[in-house]
Structure 1
Amino acid sequence: MSDLKTASVLAFERNLDISDAFFWQRDSAGDGALPTPVTVKEKSVRGTISNRLKNAIASDPVKLDAEIEKANLQRVDVASLEVGKDTLVVKWSCKVLPFTGSPSVCNDPAYKVALEQVVKGYLQEQGVSTLAKHYAMNMANARWLWRNRLGSESVKVTVECTVADTKHTIIFDDAKVFSLNDFSTESTELNQLAELIEQGLKGELFVLLYVKGEAMVGYGQEVFPSQELILDTGSTKSKVLYVNNEVSKQAGMHSQKISNAIRTIDMWYSEDAQFPIAIEPYGAVTTLGTAFRQPKQKLDFYSLFDKWVLKGEKPDIANQHYVMAVLIRGGVFGASGKE
């Protein structure tokens, strides 16, 4: 094992294959009418100058007044429920694929054997029940609704799955009772969902989950789809929202954003972690501008992974879960010969 080196070409496919989510709306006091799509509309607004100004302007009343007089004209996309609808309905699906530890691409047969032995040992000793429970919790607590969850009075989550000709319908009537910062909550429904995910990761069943969230946000209230990255610097619109297509204009959320929420299970980056972060090789949280798993501290994925595969040095159980969760996430992990 001392001569073993990390393969220069190494990649894993994701095992939680998540679709885009799309937005619908209904009236909670209605007569059972089918939900209708939430559409994205364009709005032109005249805002005020509110950014931090240079000292020379801010300290001079005349210059400040002249700056404030300038109109801050914007064209933006917005998505809101109709006046007669108070409930946002969001639907997406998740295919759970078998996790065997076998990379999709590896150009070193000896390394591939060592890697597969490591994963096999983990699956035998620890299994995937812990990871499955964490993923299930983030489906049940509706973390994936992001800002829409924060602005809702209540959230109901329904997960449907048909396996071996048996339809399972799992309902979480109050998603907000499940904490965003603690994975210790127990419930029959949560355990049922976790068991389905575990069976899918083990390859015992073909598991395709259909997830629906119903958030009571209020009549006519604004909702929050994904925002597109504007690569065309000549664009005249300052905010562009993601839509199903240019004809229907139905609001949607990127699969990457849903996936990020579901894999926000890393409570193992610190002994006194106050909140989970998404499973990432360096524990990166861009909104905080912080990498919580620093290579200097040997807590990053590559340090833990290389020690485990190349030297046979197992991390503690918590970080074993973390390393395997990164492989389930998928990605390209090869080691270049160039420094």
Structure 2
Amino acid sequence: MATSAAQIIGKVSVLAFEKKLVPSDGYMYGTTWDNRFAHTTPLALIEKSVRGTISNRFKKKDSDAFIADPAKLDAKVESPNLQTVDVCALGQEQDTLKLTFTLKVLSGVERPSACNNAAFNQSYTNVAKAYIAKYGFTELANRYASNIANARFLWRNRVGAENIEVHVKVLNKGIEASWVFNAVQIPLRTFDENNVQISELAARIASALSGKNDFLMLEINAYAQIGKAQEVYPSEELVLDKGNSKSKKSKILYAVNSHAAMHSQKIGNALRSIDTWYPNYENFETGPIAVEPYGAVTNLGVAYRNPKNKADFYNLFDKYSRGKELANASEEHYVMAVLVRGGVFGESAGESAGE
């Protein structure tokens, strides 16, 4: 039996790729829609102490006790559910949220940042260069550009906004350009919008990803008219040790030097929510998901790219990077999108490469 190319190349225990879409944190400001370019004020967090009601689901033994003696439930709800939380809102005369961040797009996807197998490195580089020559990153770039234009990165702040406008500016010297997008008119679930401005922005992104330019630096300002004094939603911090102290906050929002902000990771997750290629996509209401090795959507508790279907990143990458053809262009786009995302993808001991 002939030895396969995968067996010749062998295992790659050290393999890493640096991310090629690098957003900054997003900073939040309050303004008015009619005066949004002239005057903005940084938004600060507000601490509130609230007296909530007992509303959690009780254990069955407690429920049975309340049924047997309703007075026990009355006594239970008399105890207030005291909470201290962070909130953030526009000023009394402000009706518009401004979110500003920068995005750097880097070249060099064809070169791992770390790889301990020279044969694999050469094989992967050849495959990546062939992908660039064939597709030029145009499909991925169009999807990234669409997610900038439709303001997906606003997340919950996008819901219920009367107007949303996204201003994009190229900061690279000598190739300056700018665009303005009406985000509410650009769909969130499809990427086939025939929009000249999106195509122009996508061309700049594709040029950087494919190495025609070393990098692209964008400044992005989004304006969402959400209503006077309405609450806005910065990122929420992960509280690892809540303890039992009633004095501790139950919700801590993200701020930088007291300036309400959104995590760069959350913005990045929105920009790479381009995966419509996962199995049975048309049968789900989920829409595009963030590019992940297993198609994980944590808030739904679902991995849309289960290895059982051999549609996960590792099954596809192990074949593709060693010169084997994938079933279709969608699988190629997905693999390269994960590499743009970046990560550590080395094989652990005992695995057989390419199987």
Normalised to the residue count of structure 1, the TM-score between the two structures is 0.95
Distance 2:21 2:179 in 1: 19
What's the counterpart of residue 238 of structure 1? 250
Structure 1 counterpart of 2:220, from 208, 211, 214 = 211
Query: Where does residue 168 of structure 1 map in the other structure?
Result: 177
Q: Deviations over 1:17-62 (max 9, x none)?
A: 1110010011224496421001001000000111112322453421
2:315 corresponds to: 303
Percent identity between matched residues is 46
Q: Structure 2 length as normaliser, TM-score?
A: 0.90
1:6 aligns with 2:6: no
Q: Say if 1:117 and 1:311 are closer, same or farther in 2 by CA, change over 3 A.
A: closer
Q: Cα RMSD (Å) of the superposition?
A: 1.6
**2:186 aligns with one of 168, 171, 178:** 178
- Counterpart of 1:22 in structure 2 is 27
CA distance in 1: counterparts of 2:37 and 2:305, whole angstroms: 49
User: Match of 1:64?
Assistant: 73
- CA distance in structure 1 between the partners assigned to 2:162 and 2:56 by the alignment: 32
The answer as to whether partners of 1:308 and 1:315 remain within 8 angstroms in 2 is no
Code of the aligned partner of 1:303:
N
Q: What is the distance in 2 between the residues matched to 1:171 and 1:162? A: 15
1:83 matched to 2:92? The reply is yes
> Does structure 1 residue 43 correspond to structure 2 residue 66?
no
Q: Where in structure 2 are the equivalents of 1:121-160 lying within 5 Å?
A: 121-160=130-169
Hey, what's the Cα distance between the residues in 2 that align with 1:259 and 1:315?
28
Say if 1:115 and 1:22 are closer, same or farther in 2 by CA, change over 3 A.
same
For 2:300, the aligned partner's letter is L
| Structure 1 position 125, deviation (Å) | 1.8
3-state DSSP of counterpart to 1:114: helix
Structure 1, unpaired ranges of 5+ = none
SS for the counterpart of 1:146 is: helix
> Cα offset for 1:311?
5.9
1:331–1:49 CA distance, 2 compared to 1 (3 A): same
**Cα distance in structure 1, aligned partners of 2:36 and 2:189:** 37
Give the secondary-structure state (helix, strand or coil) at the position aligned to 1:82: coil
Question: Does residue 101 of the first structure (1) align with residue 113 of the second (2)?
Answer: no
Q: How many residues align?
A: 335
Letter in 1 for 2:205: I
Q: 1:57 and 1:17 mapped to 2: Cα distance?
A: 55
